[in-house]
Homo-oligomer: A and B are copies of this chain.
Amino acid sequence: MDAIYFVSMGSLLGIIFAWVMFLRVKKQPEGTSEMARISEAVRKGANAYLKRQYSGVAIFFIAVFCILLIMAFNGFLSFFTPFAFLTGGFFSGLSGFIGMRTATMANCRTAEGASKSLNKGLQVAFSAGSVMGFTVVGLGLLDLSIWYFILNAAFQHLPVEQRITEITANMLTFGMGASSMALFARVGGGIFTKAADVGADLVGKVEAGIPEDDPRNPAVIADNVGDNVGDVAGMGADLYESYVGSIVSTAALAVAAGYGVKGVSIPMLLAALGVVASVIGTFFVKTEEGASQKNLLKALRTGTYISAAIIVVAAYFIIKMMLPGHMGLYAAVLSGLIAGVLIGAITEYYTSDTYSPTKKLAESSETGAATVIISGLSLGMLSTVAPVIIVSISVLVSYYCSGGANDFNLGLYGIGLSAVGMLSTLGITLATDAYGPIADNAGGIAEMTHMDASVRQRTDALDSLGNTTAATGKGFAIGSAALTALALIASYVDKVHQIQPDLNLDLTITNPKVLVGLFIGGVLPFLFAALTMEAVGKAAQSIVLEVRRQFKTIAGIMEGKAEPDYASCVDMCTKSAQKLMIAPAMIAVIIPIVIGLLLGPEGVCALLAGNTVTGFVLAVMMANSGGAWDNAKKYIEQGAHDGKGSSQHKAAVVGDTVGDPFKDTSGPSINILIKLTSMVSIVFASLVLAFHLL
């Protein structure tokens, strides 16, 4: 398959570009020694966290590796799977680490850049975000390339079409490693970041009345560390997983549809060319001094849209070259891309203060915190309708345009391609997303080192824009998660039929196993959200108590004469996150296996369906409620409804605090949950089936 050479080159391009960007960021000046010192503290905290997280996760990986190895010895899996599981986890974790490393290096440099000009600040932050974006796609394609060559060599004795079948079947199981790592990164990082944030806000802003990012707040460094381990490293691992998952599941569906080499080549080429398109797009991201926020947004948008336009053209030729008889597949790719853009736009509509929903939410602060919460929750719930309809239309379009009416395997392949289409320009969309927390951190450093007000103003402009791009990015992440999950469910069905060709997996809705599977699948995201929110609550409460303790016991802390003990807060967050991430993560891994053993493959199908549907809706709701609360608060801080310090502002702060775990812990973790359950089901399918045939 020649396409793999393009994939290798795409991988190389991504990694080299990320490296160039990394060097570009690195050679920027760090600013004053005080700035460097704070940046160092954040970096140390983030490193310590990741180190602890990875060593904890290593135990999990070793345990699962052993289980998979035993399964392989007993013929339930190929021997490649356990090792592929490890590399998936390794590269996912590495993506997160590199992104985080760059972000913690870039924060003071962005602040220093912003002290010169807005454009300079944007360039540094965006370059750092690009490192993350291109590392993810570069490493993702690297993993695919390496395994392709290994598997190709291993199955060399087979004729080419049969070989590609073996290769894709084996590659499909990669995802579980990446998914598992992503889950830990998202959940652990999410707990850390929000425990620190909520804890810092509750005592600092609400009780002591000191501003955000005030250096007198003992949790302020932990808060900044959290932005890096949660919003950067966690998100990187998350999207790494969607990216790889969508490609390998589409490849498997291509084989099922009977279009081995050529069908597999299409998603590969799309991904490879997506890297090129993204690199080109980044050159268009620049702005001039005095640019309004609108212009800043335009700068970022231009880059993204140019990349998308390139892919739109390239996809046409790729499909024309590979499967000219199936140009309907082109509609599938387009529908995915368009759905991604539309969900992003909807997300922005519901969460940006330039539109009425968030304005109305801010208005509800006039009648107190309770109405802010009620309005925010109903805003979030309402905002789920449009994305569901968009995904639904995208699914129908992809399926039927690809020829699903005549051959359902082709239709499913189309759905897979729509996910790949949505994610093909991930390099740049992730860059625009990851730059947000970097600008946020830069603002924190500017605040802590008492830099000129104009600097803070510039970083604020960058940060506020970051909130919008982050919202768009989250919309993308959720949309692609839904489509990828659907492709994975289809792959699961295909996998089961490979093992047991005559098994009927149709879900008779009146079959109680199906009903029960649906119910358990439907409750899973709620359980997961409950556990992660509770974890944030618990961890935050311990931070609140610690901050209060320091305010009381460290003399001169409020006058800025004595330095608070930042490290203790970082350490507490780290420990809490490590401990509290275990339960939710285990649930995602164990439940699909248990249900498989109890209810059989039709129960698992129903479980995955229920889980994907409820998970998607709940994730959108939590992300959008959280985003809207955040921006409603910012809107009031800009002077609406009596502005900062008013009772309206206090009510909005309550909303924002509730929204924190919504949008940065539970919501995004559910994205991974819905994919990981499918991945686990695929990997353990043979075991579950063997048990049921006993």
Hey, which bits of chain A sit against chain B, CB under 8 A? Answer: 198, 202, 206, 364, 367-371, 373-375, 377-382, 384-385, 388-389, 391-392, 395-396, 399-400, 404, 408, 411-412, 415, 486, 489-490, 493, 505-516, 518-523, 526-527, 529-531, 533-534, 536-537, 540-541, 544, 605-606, 608-610, 613-614, 616-617, 621, 653-654, 657-658, 661
Contacts and interface: CB of A to CB of B under 8 A. Distances in A.
A522 B381 contact: no
B367 A523 contact: no
A256 B395 CA distance: 35
Contact of A385 (B523, B541, B610, B617): B523
A79 B76 CA distance: 60
A202 B610 contact: no
A53 to B, nearest CB: 23
Given A404-B512, A526-B617, A537 B506 contact: no
Given A370-B654, A512-B415, A522 B378 contact: no
A453 to B, nearest CB: 29
Contacts of A606: 509
A540 B371 contact: yes
A520 to B, nearest CB: 7
A395 B515 contact: yes
Nearest to A409: B510
A515 B486 contact: yes
A609 B606 CA distance: 10
A415 B509 CA distance: 13
Nearest to A653: B370
Given A507-B506, A529-B381, A537-B374, A617 B512 contact: no
A621 B415 CA distance: 33
Given A507-B507, A512-B411, A534-B382, A371 B541 contact: yes
A519 B616 contact: yes
Contacts of A385: 523, 526-527
Given A377-B530, A384-B527, A521-B613, 18 more contacts: A202-B371, A367-B541, A368-B654, A370-B657, A370-B658, A374-B661, A378-B537, A379-B530, A381-B527, A382-B531, A392-B516, A392-B519, A404-B512, A507-B509, A509-B605, A509-B608, A526-B617, A613-B613
B530 A378 contact: yes
12 contacts: A206-B368, A367-B544, A370-B654, A374-B658, A382-B527, A385-B523, A412-B510, A507-B507, A507-B508, A519-B613, A610-B613, A614-B614
A516 B390 CA distance: 10
Copies of this chain in the oligomer: 2
A692 to B, nearest CB: 15
Contacts of A654: 368-370, 373, 654
B367 A369 contact: no
A512 B368 contact: no
B381 A530 contact: yes
A206 B369 CA distance: 11
A621 to B, nearest CB: 6
A326 to B, nearest CB: 17
Contacts of A396: 512-513, 516
Contacts of A509: 489, 493, 505, 507, 605-606, 608-609
Given A507-B508, A510-B493, A613-B522, A536 B374 contact: yes
A23 to B, nearest CB: 42
A220 B517 CA distance: 47
A211 to B, nearest CB: 18
A660 B382 CA distance: 19
Contact of A370 (B198, B511, B518): B198
Contacts of A506: 506-508
A373 B658 contact: yes
A541 B541 CA distance: 32
Nearest to A199: B367
Contacts of A608: 509
Nearest to A606: B509
Nearest to A518: B613
Contacts of A373: 373, 654, 658
A217 to B, nearest CB: 15
A519 to B, nearest CB: 5
Contacts of A511: 408
A373 B616 CA distance: 22
10 closest Cβ contacts across the A-B interface? A381-B530, A370-B657, A506-B506, A522-B613, A382-B530, A378-B533, A399-B512, A507-B507, A392-B516, A388-B523
Nearest to A415: B512
A377 B606 CA distance: 26
Given A395-B512, A396-B516, A510-B493, A522 B371 contact: no
A374 B610 contact: no
A99 to B, nearest CB: 28
B490 A510 contact: yes
Nearest to A535: B378
Contacts of A533: 374, 377-378, 381
